[in-house]
Structure 1
Amino acid sequence: MVRSLWTAATGMIAQQTNVDTIANNLANVNTTGYKTQVNEFKSLLYQNIQTKTTSANGDAKPSSAQVGLGVRNASISSVFKEGSLTASDSDTAFAIDGKGFFAVRGADGNTYYTRNGNLKFTLASNGGNMLATSEGLPVLDTQGRPIVLSNNYVMSKVTVSKDGSLCYPDAQNNPQPIGITIGVFQFNNPNGLERLADSLYQQTAASGQAINEATNNNVERSSIIQGYLESSNVQVVDEMVNMIVAQRAYELNSKAITASDEMLQQANNLRR
């Protein structure tokens, strides 16, 4: 009975984490480029109540008697399915059609990755206009350098082609590449990326090295679509159903604790 108390407690803890994950998904339903997170569970150790042996008649028993000791969270993984594209009035709104990520330079000097293409032009510290995220982090080009345009360019006239090339109209008002391309990178295992705040991801040993689409011909290149943003891929209906299931599982584990407590109370009353 004491074992059942702790087993049910592990179930309540696991379901609490599950509800926390679902709540985070729902909270980010309008976050650009957000990817749904899913809890994965695994069972704990099993305790042998009776090992493989023979019965009173000498017959060999086919299996032993084992009882489980509960459940725990194995991982919280992201679903990198593409979200729907939403039109934006911003000239610096970019959606990635494919498996790629934008690369940005963090305040600590490290490179991070994101699917959030809600970008802005801001004044660079050394002059010119720099393409950056809403938090002011510089966006990197295919060579890993911040994208900075001189003051000779009118930012509202800058366009971006599907391959990420920045273009500016010539005398005949035809967009011409200016020699700068927005960097797009892929990973062999995006689920191995470490999730950070502000929709950023960090490269890890599990994700593998970033693959530069501009220099690697072995990957399917992504397309950059100007004037659109990638919405969150959270499905509200699915999350609400998952929450109901998690609540019921939490309730069942709570009832198991109550039942174990009542059995212990009855056992204690036998001594009176």
Structure 2
Amino acid sequence: MFELPKGMSDFRARDRGQEYVQHGVAFLRQNALEVTAQAPLGARVQSKQLLSLLQAKHNDQDHEIYNLTSAQEVRGMKVMTTERGVHSVTAATGQDAPALTAYYLPWDTNKSYSMTLGDRANFFFTAPMNGCAFFATGERTTPTVYHSNYYLDPEQHALKDTVRYQRRSTFYARFQQMIKKGTTQALLPEFYLAPNGVKSSTTSVFGFRDRNNGQWSFSYHVVFVANEPYANTNAQVVVQHTNKPYFMTGPLWPVMQQPKWRTLMGHYLWG
């Protein structure tokens, strides 16, 4: 149970925002961070009915890409500690401590949201992912990011799950080829939903802008269902557990580092 220091407000006592600001990547590698989904702000439809991507013969829904401006999605965020030891990224209010200014990339069913980052903020969060794909592409100082959701209603598609998943994978592969420019990396559901056979619960992508050279980098962060023993041997990817929960984080863009898994009799090893 979290005890409040005497004389401090609930938010100020539990806010981990300053620690995140000062040690962002290290904070990710030591703490489970979950992002709360927020409604997207106004956006223009960039493209509709991408039939060259979707297989229309299967009666898939039309897909839309929404192009957000960075000004629209710069939000005040806060990083708070929850009762179960997970740190939650939520929207800040006027009554909170000074907010963490960050870009936020939302999601919606069968839609893709894109945004080009710049120098309006030094941090980036994407909405939580449980089947979506994240793409980063372009130049280090002005990368374009995408949060893409490919939806197939199982009640309307009399196909086995494996077939549906294959179609989703095909769509994401085609999507990546369509938006590719410069250095491009993707975080796909095949990577984060059940790595090493262990089921994950929530996944997000976090971005950090170097204040000295203005370059962006992104890291993936996967929170797992608890009580599943596993470890990895890759020095660039950390699998950590703090009683509850378990999580995995590593570099995503411009260079992605994938974990190398092994289980060792319930012992938990650092990379």
Q: Normalised by the shorter chain, which TM-score bucket? A: under 0.3
* Largest Rg, 1 or 2: 1
Q: Which has the higher helix share?
A: 1
Could you tell me the TM-score, scaled by structure 2's length? 0.23
**By percentage of residues, which structure has more strand?**
2
TM-score by length of 1: 0.23
Q: Higher relative contact order at CA 8 Å, sep ≥6: structure 1 or structure 2? A: 1
